[in-house]
Amino acid sequence: MAITSLAYLGVRSDLLGDWDGFATELLGMQPFDQGGKTMAFRMDDRMQRLVVSDEAGETLAFIGWEVSRRSDLDAFGARLESAGVEVKAGDRALCHRRFVEDLIYFQDPAGNRIELVFGPYVCEDPFVAGRAIEGFKTGPYGMGHAVLHVANPTPLVKFYTDILGFAISDYGLKPVPLYFFHVNGRHHSFAIIGSGKRGFHHFMVEYHNLDDVGQGYDIAAQMCDAIAYTLGRHTNDYMTSFYAKSPSGFFVENGWGGRIIDPKTWEPHETNVGPSFWGHERLYLAEDERDAFRQMRMRSAQEGKRAPPVVDCPWLYNDFLNKAHE
């Protein structure tokens, strides 16, 4: 049994109108009418990838993870219950709202609602982007990734690895603990930041074309205070991206060129370089806090740190790396 990808995300917000404009005009998602006080958005052939419910809180409501077999729900349910986690089966009404054949749900040690789902419905109508984009990189890699603030990462790491079967991609321990997890070839589909608080830091969507990121950056620049991180490139997953401020206050990473790994051969490791090769100036931080990240980027530049050529094939990545070390 295994979790295969990030299926969908749910957000609580009473700013539905703002989310409609943000998700369609900036991110390029397609609105999907659920009726009532809920908005949903498509990114591909799935019925929905992002769900925004008219509720107070302006934060994460739930995370949906996909499994490949219905029997995996029973197996995970048994494992969770043996670890003392209360598990509930989704009724027909909930499955209908999530557009899946079956699901179970429970809470992780930080109180986040987690849903494991089987059989997501495929929409008969083709995806129509909210703005002119080539499309999103989803498929076997899932919706993208989600990153959470947590008070104490230790129980979360144990829960997600030992019980849910996530694998650590890499981690950093300073200035705060930061862990990245993969469930497929995407470098990370999930991450936690041991910031001492609880909440939603960001989710990421990946585009097929770098120009879609750049044009989104231009759109965000025309909006009032919409850019949280300037355009930059990450050191661990090689993603070229910027972060936009969502209507709810957390961030959405708009990325391209993310690293594809081979989960069978990948070795988890500690990273001691800064989070970005260049860019990603954190405009939401005070100047002294921004300077600490800036100094890390300057050090990476002085040491000539950079990503290998972007390719989507793990064995080709390895070939590039082997040649680089010859």
pLDDT of residue 323: 56
Residue 320 maps to a domain: no
Residue 309 within a domain = no
What's the CA gap between 87 and 85, in Å, rounded? 6
User: Is residue 102 pLDDT above 90, yes or no?
Assistant: yes
Asked, for residue 89, whether it belongs to a domain, the answer is: yes
Sheet holding 88-89, edge to edge: 30-33, 38-42, 50-53, 3-12, 59-67, 113-120, 100-107, 88-89
Q: Convert 96-134 to b/e letters by CB count within 10 Å (16 or more is b).
A: ebbbbebbbbbebbbebebbbbbbbeeeeeeeebbeebe
For residue 45, CA distances in Å to 116, 125, 235, 290 come to: 19, 8, 31, 39
Residues 210-221: what's their mean pLDDT?
98
Q: Write down the residue that tokens 């999103």 correspond to.
A: 136
Whether residue 180 contacts residue 168, with contact meaning beta carbons closer than 8 Å, is answered with yes
Q: What pLDDT, in 10s, does the model give residues 279-297?
A: 999 999 999 999 989 999 9
The distance of Cα 25 from the centroid of its chain, to the nearest Å, equals: 20
Mean pLDDT is lowest, of 34-48, 102-116, 210-224, 300-314, for: 300-314
- Look up the CATH number of the domain holding residue 247: 3.10.180.10
CA distances to 85, 116, 229, 314 from 261, in Å: 31, 24, 25, 5
10, 105 Cβ separation under 8 angstroms: no
Which has more confidence, 60 or 307? 60
Whether 307 maps to a domain, the answer reads: no
Predicted pLDDT at 25 = 98
Comparing CA positions, the residue from 190, 324, 311 lying closest to residue 260 is 311
Predicted confidence band at 312 (pLDDT cuts at 50, 70, 90)?
low
CA 93, CA 296: separation in Å to the nearest integer? 50
In a domain, 193, yes or no: yes
**Number of folded domains that form the chain:** 1
Question: pLDDT tens digits, residue range 171-215?
Answer: 998 878 999 999 999 999 999 999 999 999 999 999 999 999 999
Written in H, E and C, the secondary structure of 60-90 is EEEEEEEECCHHHHHHHHHHHHHCCCCCEEC
Report DSSP state, residue 25: I
Q: Is residue 34 part of a domain?
A: yes
Instruction: Quote the DSSP letter at residue 57.
Output: T
Pairwise CA distance, residues 41 & 215, whole Å: 20
pLDDT at 324 over 90: no
Q: How many CB atoms lie within 10 A of CB 4?
A: 17
Looking at residues 76-99, what average pLDDT do you find? 98
CA contacts within 13 A on the Cβ side of 178: 14
Residue 326: pLDDT over 60 = no
Q: What is the mean pLDDT of residues 29-54?
A: 92
**Does 318 map to a domain?**
no
List all residues 6 or more positions away from 13 whose beta carbon is below 8 Å from its beta carbon. Answer: 19, 52, 53, 54, 55, 57, 58, 247, 248
Angstrom distance (rounded) from CA 20 to CA 29:
9
> What's the sign of the alpha-carbon dihedral 85, 60, 63, 122?
positive
The pLDDT assigned to 320 comes to 55
Mean pLDDT, the chain, rounded, equals: 94
Residue 238, domain member (yes or no):
yes
Nearest to 39 by CA among 13, 16, 15: 16
Q: Tell me: the pLDDT tens digits for 103-149?
A: 999 999 999 999 999 999 999 999 999 999 999 999 999 999 999 99
Range of the domain at 191: 3-302
More confident residue, 194 or 323: 194
What whole-number percentage of the chain has pLDDT above 90?
87
